Amino acid sequence: MSGSVSLRSLEHTALLCSRRRVRTVSLFPSPMAAMASNTSGPVPFTDVDDGTVPKRPAKEEFGGLVAALPRKHQAGLELRLYQGFWLPDHWVAGTVVFQRRFAPRPDDVILASYPKCGTTWLKALAFATMTRDAYPAPAQHPLLRLNPHDCIPFLDEIFADGQEAKLEKLPSPRLMNTHMPHTLLPESVTGAAVAGCKVVYICRDPKDMVVSLWHFLRRRQPELPFAELFEHVCDGAVAVGPIWDHVLSYWRASLARPDRVLFLRYEELLQDTGKHVRKLAEFMGRPFSPAEEGAGAVEGVVELCSFEKMKGLEVNKKGSAGAYHAMPRDSFFRKGVAGDWVNHMTPEMATRLDEVVRDKFRGTALAAP
């Protein structure tokens, strides 16, 4: 969008804006310079995390509570049943702290999802949408040098590590994400009297979710049988499951408070990404102006965050992400399509899972015909 603008005109614009006390960025900002020039967020979480906040694992305070919960092993994880959901053991104490002590700001946006339902893509789209003013030159956008998970903090790990002080370093509005169901979010977020703090949720066809989760977990457990994971999903005894209760918690919240909870479907996002980016921007309080629409800003966000673009970036081909079970960054970019389940499931398995989900979603618009 800025390719046709001369350096002189950019400098002149910056001078005028500075006189009006409007935030500006240089033509080629360094990561830290761009962050310093921002008077508002979001900014990449990695850029403000200077490593000075020590770890104080929440389990040190709530270990007794965690130890008393029902447990089981699933796909290499130890799970605990907490308030109706099977959570990874190392997340439970952090969830307790999150519920009791999280202090949201009125303009916070929390991105939520069940694992392997479009989390990485949603993070990229939301971050690119909210930061488009700070980085008008696409070639300088942080998503070209950082994995989406490095840009937006993962609350479940932040609170498990007792490092919630890191969140205070982020300027408003903050973008954060979680895999917790809506019923496990803090009252400070979900309460009827609470103003602000919005939630964006993305769901996906459970069959594709299972396939994506299996491929993801196999990066740590190459011998994990697909049939084993499938059974766990159907039984509801899977990490952050049952999945149908997870989805329903946000679906019901979106019906009750559409101004506070936006419910997105992965498949619809694939079909018309631009349409849903506009909806996302409007919901988050950063709608695209007519001038931006005319300049192709929406298309720019879609292209920057496209699966092909992100998968091809060097930063997403090497290194790892995650505090407890660090995963290779390339494991977050496999196919990014809908319907891949047909290559992994027998017709009988697909029918069984469809019937389970249809029964759980009965009486809602989520139920398949």
78 or 140, higher pLDDT: 78
How many domains is the chain built from? 2
* Segment among 15-29, 125-139, 200-214, 255-269 with least mean pLDDT: 15-29
34: pLDDT strictly greater than 60: no
Is residue 89, in this structure, part of any structural domain at all? Answer: yes
2: pLDDT strictly greater than 70: no
Q: Residue 29 sits in which domain range?
A: 1-37
Is residue 266, in this structure, part of any structural domain at all? Answer: yes
28: pLDDT strictly greater than 70: no
> Which of 15-24, 220-229, 335-344 has the highest mean predicted lDDT (pLDDT)?
220-229
- pLDDT tens for 70-110 read 999 887 789 999 999 999 999 999 999 999 999 999 999 99
Is residue 369, in this structure, part of any structural domain at all? Answer: no
Q: In this structure, are 324 and 355 located in the same domain?
A: yes
Q: How far apart are CA 79 and CA 65, in angstroms?
A: 14
Q: In this structure, are 4 and 132 located in the same domain?
A: no
Is residue 122, in this structure, part of any structural domain at all? Answer: yes
Q: How high is the pLDDT of residue 338?
A: 75
Q: In this structure, are 180 and 252 located in the same domain?
A: yes
Q: In this structure, are 321 and 244 located in the same domain?
A: yes
Query: Which CATH number fits the domain that encloses residue 178?
Result: 3.40.50.300
- pLDDT tens for 173-215 read 999 999 999 999 999 999 877 777 999 999 999 999 999 998 8
Instruction: Work out the mean pLDDT of the chain and round it to a whole number.
Output: 84
Q: In this structure, are 58 and 29 located in the same domain?
A: no
Is residue 18, in this structure, part of any structural domain at all? Answer: yes
The pTM (predicted TM-score) of the whole model is 0.85
The rounded percent of the chain whose pLDDT value lies above 90 is 66
What is the set of active-site residues?
Answer: 179
Q: In this structure, are 25 and 139 located in the same domain?
A: no
Q: How high is the pLDDT of residue 119?
A: 93
Q: In this structure, are 101 and 124 located in the same domain?
A: yes
Q: How high is the pLDDT of residue 332?
A: 60
Q: How high is the pLDDT of residue 138?
A: 72
Q: In this structure, are 129 and 198 located in the same domain?
A: yes
Q: In this structure, are 100 and 4 located in the same domain?
A: no
* Segment among 173-187, 196-210, 217-231, 331-345 with least mean pLDDT: 331-345
Q: How high is the pLDDT of residue 323?
A: 52
Is residue 226, in this structure, part of any structural domain at all? Answer: yes
Is residue 302, in this structure, part of any structural domain at all? Answer: yes
Q: How high is the pLDDT of residue 328?
A: 60
Q: How high is the pLDDT of residue 27?
A: 26
Q: What is the mean predicted confidence (pLDDT) over 301-305?
A: 94
Q: In this structure, are 22 and 171 located in the same domain?
A: no
Is residue 327, in this structure, part of any structural domain at all? Answer: yes
Q: In this structure, are 247 and 347 located in the same domain?
A: yes
52: pLDDT strictly greater than 70: yes
Q: In this structure, are 73 and 30 located in the same domain?
A: no
